[in-house]
Each structure stands twice: as structure tokens, then as C-alpha cells.
Amino acid sequence: MATMTDKKILENNPLAFCVDLLQEDDRLDCAWFNPIVENKIESLRKRNASDRKLVKLKIVADVTGGKRLPKGTVVQESESNNIPYIRATDVKNLKVNLSAAIKIPKEIHQIIQNYQFRKDDIAITIVGTIGDVGILENDVDVCDFTENITRVRIKDNSVIAIFLLHYLDSEYGKLQTDRFSVGSLQYKLSLQSCRNIEIYLPIKRGGFDIKKQQFILGSVYSILNQSELKREKSIELIKEARFVLQNKIGLPVVSMSGDYEIYTQNLDGDYNSRLDALFNNPLRQKLLNILKKYPYKTLGILVKPQNADKIIPSDFYRLVELEQIDEDAGRITEVKEVPNLGSEKVLLKENSILISKLQPEKGKVVIVSKEYDGCVGSSELVPVVLNSSEVSLEYLWAVLRSDYILKQWKYELTGSSRMRIGPNEIKNTIIPMPEKKIQQEIVGEINEKIIKSDVFKREADELLKQAKKEFLNLLTV
């Protein structure tokens, strides 16, 4: 801990980031004492004028943590489950995505009901991928959230929530969340560190200048709006790509309006059964019966397990976690270099297919490209190798990400709070088998839509960068 003498020295040192942080965090690592970060923040202090001020996040907002689901909780699809439970994966593109959140029943909600999100609350991810931020734009009666998220709730109307969101997503916000992160295999960001993030705000006599905040937001709004429109087009193309398979094959359309009416146009009798027992639900068997009316093979016939080669010890490893897989485009986005693995991992080999066994309805299925050959991956990934000439690698990738497959797996998940698909269920997955020409057409159309989607996404990202730059220019002039 810092002594009184240390405090005096640090208080007189213009490069000292913050004395009370040293009192709370005995950090000796390079990331903490990174001079680039210290100088960046210090540059804001030197800019402090009569109309600008650096304050800690805890001054303007209540910063609190969430609650994990009770041990042994099994969350299964049911019409009675209607309370959103926000996880770190639901924080994306500056939004909290309620539509992707799992739904929990009232009984579980009552246990964790003191941990709630509401409209205009900001989420900061604090485990795994650190520092992603998003705002809840929707009015919602009840909405629980995980301990892997910090909730930031503005204390009064002197600070605009969306203004704070963009600051936290700016260079200065990201520098601090990166700096405060600690850990070896998995980085974490403490609540106390979140509360100590320094926020640069316009001020006027008597408090914070909300009109100046509105002016800055208004000046970048048109750029942000253009970025959002581009991103929506990108997402729409990805959605269209997921429909190519069923349109080409001619199988019944999977109902996207609800998880409880699957292939309803071909299901006779009462299909509104409760989905508490997923595997034994009659809907599952009816779904399989429908798929079996068309040409098909089971996945175990088309692929074989990848050879379980040992991972050679190294000074560092190129690690692919689930967070580094883009579930929309179905590909690896980046790798992390780590000095040790700490737990069991799988070796990635070129042209193998990785299937996420952890809640695979997310569609995290990728082909390992040459770029990632030799990387290691999360043990939640199952690597398989093509073992048949009846399908192409690309077609198998496309069909494994389709709703025909994801719905099968959804019925077969097992586990408690983290549900998985088992090896036998993966092996017995029914794969629609159109003729080769149709397979090629499916792959071609999907790739065309993904390429167009990538263009819109890049344009959206460039506009967002432009908006971030303009935001900081206006804030720091």
C-alpha cells in the first residue's frame, strides 16, 4: 500500500494517474504504469478549463454489478419464461440486445430481482471481452443481468446517458478499461475500477452543461445515424443469407416469430406444448420426421473427428475463444496471444469445421482457414473433418448454421446454467442433402450476401470511427 510519504510525492507528480487508485490497487504491471495511457489522461487534465472537468464515473452515476443465476439452474425454452436476463454477449454495437437475451421464469427472477436494468442504463462488460458498452433503449418492466456486466445508471438529468455511452466507447474510455483490467488467462474489470473511470464533461456555473452535451451529440448524430443504417443493412443481408438454404431446398419455412411454433404449417394436432422437457417434447420428433421426408444424411456419416494431436509446449499460444468467433458471418475474427493455457484446449487445423457445443443455437460454426492453422481453441469447440464427397466443406458450413440444424440442437441441449450439445447429438444431426448443383447455388448465394454485408459493415465501422473522432474533437477543444 502507498505510505503517507508516497502520497505526498505522488500528489506533486503531474504524471500520477490517481493517488486513491494506488491505495485500492497495488498494481505493479506494465499495463498499469503504461506512460501512453498516463499521458493521454494527463492531457485531459491539462485541458481542464472553466468549461470542462474530469470527474470519476461514480460522481455522476451509480455503478453496480449483476447477479449470476443460482447454482444448478436449468434454463429451458418455455412460454412461461418471459423475463430477459442480459449477459455480456448481449452487449453489442453500443446496444443491449434484449431480443438475443435468454428468458428466465418468474421463480428464478424473484431470487435475483434486486439486480435490474431499465431504460437508459449503460452496460460495461467486465469479464472476457473487457470494456464493450451498450445502452438499453427499450422500456421494460423487469430485466435481470449477469455478474459479468456492470450497470451504469445516471444519478440525475445533468448528464445525458447517450453522451456518457459515447465517452465510455471513446479512446479515453477504452484506454482506462484496458488499463484497469487484471488477470492472466481471463481478464477482469472490478466494480471499483469502473467507478474510478475518469469522465471528461462540459461544465457551467452550478453544474454540468447539458446543453453543451446536446450540442456535441447533435453534431455527430448525422454520422452516427448513417453508421446505424449501414449496420442495419449489413445485419439484414446476414438474415437473408440464413434463408437461402430453405428457399433453395424447398423445406418448410422455420417460424421466426416464436420459438414455440416450429414448422407449424406441417404439424398437426396440438403444437403449443410446454418446452420444459426439450428432448422428450413431441415437437422434436415431429421436426425430425419432417426433415426425414427429404433426402438427408446424419452428420456422423459426413464427417469424422479431427485427430487429437497434442499441443506442443510453447512460449506463447495463439488462442481462439468463443468471443473471437463472429456468429453472424461464421468466422474467426481475431486471436489472443497468451503465455499459458491453464485448461484443456483443442488444436485448430486448416479445413476443419469448428462447432460450438456451448448453447450451439448461437450458430458459432466456422471453417478453419490457413491463417488460423496451428492455433488453439476453447474446449467448447468441437473440431470435425469432412469425410464424404457427397457434400462440400462450404455447404456443410452453411447447413450447420441454418435453422434446420440449430432447431434440432436446441431441443437436445443438456446441462445446468451453461447448456451444451452432446457428442452423440452432434453425430446424429440430420443434414438435408440436395443434389450437388443445388449445394453450389446455396453456397454461392450465401457468400454473395455475406460479401455485401461485409461492405456495409466496413462502411458502418468507418462512419463510427469518424463519429468518435468528431465527438472527441468537440469535447476536447
Other CB atoms within 10 A of residue 224 CB: 20
C-alpha cell at 417: 446454467
Helix (H) or strand (E) holding 406: helix 403-411
- The confidence score (pLDDT) of residue 2 equals 40
Task: Answer whether 309's CB lies under 8 Å from 347's CB.
Answer: yes
Q: How far apart are CA 358 and CA 382, in angstroms?
A: 10
Q: Which pTM was predicted?
A: 0.76
Q: How far apart are CA 312 and CA 308, in angstroms?
A: 12
Task: Answer whether 135's CB lies under 8 Å from 93's CB.
Answer: no
Task: Answer whether 355's CB lies under 8 Å from 382's CB.
Answer: yes
Beta strands in 29-168 (DSSP E): 52-56, 61-65, 83-86, 91-92, 94-96, 102-104, 122-125, 133-135, 144-145, 149-154
Beta strands in 40-138 (DSSP E): 52-56, 61-65, 83-86, 91-92, 94-96, 102-104, 122-125, 133-135
In single-letter form, the type of residue at position 11 comes to E
- The confidence score (pLDDT) of residue 407 equals 84
Query: What are the angstrom distances between the C-alpha of 327 and each of 160, 185, 259, 315, 363?
Result: 32, 23, 19, 30, 6
Mean pLDDT by 10 residues, the chain (477 residues): 39 37 44 63 70 90 90 64 87 89 86 91 90 93 92 93 95 86 69 91 88 94 94 93 85 49 36 44 78 92 92 90 86 89 90 90 87 93 95 94 86 73 91 94 95 96 95 88
3-state secondary structure of 223: helix
Q: Determine the distance from the C-alpha atom of residue 322 to the mean position of all C-alpha atoms in its chain, rounded to a whole number.
A: 9
Q: What is the pLDDT of residues 240-249, one digit of tens each?
A: 998 888 888 8
Q: How far apart are CA 217 and CA 425, in angstroms?
A: 50
Q: Tell me the domains of the chain and their CATH numbers.
A: 55-203 (3.90.220.20), 239-439 (3.90.220.20)
